[in-house]
Structure 1
Amino acid sequence: MNAQQRELRELYQDTDERTEPFDPLTLSGEGCVLLAAEEGGKLLACGALKRWDRDSAEVKRMYTVPGARGCGLGRALLHELIARGRAAGYRRLVLETGDQQAAALALYERAGFRRIPNFGYYEGMDNSLCYELPLQDT
């Protein structure tokens, strides 16, 4: 997680240490999922679902290390998180990403996520973009 935060601070030229609080224990509760891809004991990519309520979960901490980008790991993890969200009975997934993260924006939009007004912690943050994916049976 530290590498992700360092990369985001550099990308946004942000010297403010304020970030959304991250407590791994909040990802270990009922309805939460933490996924990772590793090779040879090295973490390559990760992502999580954090339960909001009975109907909703937030995609959190999507990250692929720079040397593993372009291999489809982020896409595979996101698709698995979507599948796990459906299996858990969530009606929708939401997420936040930054406006300078073109690869992330493309990934989420290709997966069917659509822009929504900024929510919760992200309200009023100019660089934040929030998305939603309805999980209806088709």
Structure 2
Amino acid sequence: MEKLVIERVTAGNPGLAALIRELDRYLEGLYPPEEIFVVDFDDPKTREMVFVLAYGDGEPVGCAGLRQLDGMSVELKRFYVDPRMRRHGVARQLYQYLEQQALELGCSIIRLETGAPQVEAIAFYKRLGFHEIPAFGEYIGCASSLCMEKRIG
């Protein structure tokens, strides 16, 4: 990969949709349908989210979104890197871009939800400085949910 480019995109971006479909297929192999928390792209509030794509050599290789939870915190959503591009720094650069976006929104906390089967993701988030917290929002009561948080800024 020559150069990684990260940029904000709209919810309707075809590259974003393709990567989110890949992520959904991956998650379907790990969790029952009722424990997969998708982003509803038909919900008008989705347009308020920040979505980003990472491009490697012009091709979408990673995606993520930020959903505002309140005035101080955002939730990291749909964080995914194409398996062929993992271990190349894509996820770290994508996260750093998102953290800057969160700061620009005036937020000091980033939260996320993942699950115990996603061992590599948990290790990655811990390396970034995230720590486990009690379940929040729609994840309360979901047995497979593991929620994490990081203070920024």
TM-score normalised by structure 1 residue count: 0.85
Which string of whole-angstrom CA distances, capped at 9 and with x for unpartnered residues, describes residues 43-82 of structure 1?
A: 2101111111211110010001111111111111111111
* Counterpart Cα distance in 1 of 2:45 and 2:125: 23
Going from structure 1 to structure 2, the CA distance change for 1:116 and 1:18 (only over 3 Å counts) comes to closer
Is contact 1:27-1:34 (8 Å) kept?
Answer: no
Question: Alignment identity in percent?
Answer: 34
2:53 to 36, 40, 47: 36
8 Å Cα contact 1:45/1:64 also seen in 2: yes
TM superposition outliers: structure 1 runs of 4+ over 4 Å: none
Aligned residues between the structures: 132
What residue in structure 1 maps to residue 28 of structure 2?
9
Does residue 19 of structure 1 match 2:51? no
Deviations 1:81-129 (A, max 9, x none): 1121112210211100111111111111111111100111111112110
DSSP 3-state at the match of 2:29: helix
In structure 2, stretches of 5+ residues that fail to align are: 1-19
**Alignment correspondent of 1:57:** 74
Equivalent pair of 2:64/2:80 in contact (CA under 8 Å)? yes
Q: 1:100 to 1:18 in 2, by over 3 A?
A: closer
**1 CA distance for matches of 2:38 and 2:29?**
19
Higher RCO, 1 vs 2 (CA within 8 Å, ≥6 residues apart): 2
For structure 1, the residue ranges without an aligned partner over 5 or more in a row are none
Report Cα offsets for 1:6-30 as digits up to 9, x if no partner.
Answer: 1111134x3x36632413453432x
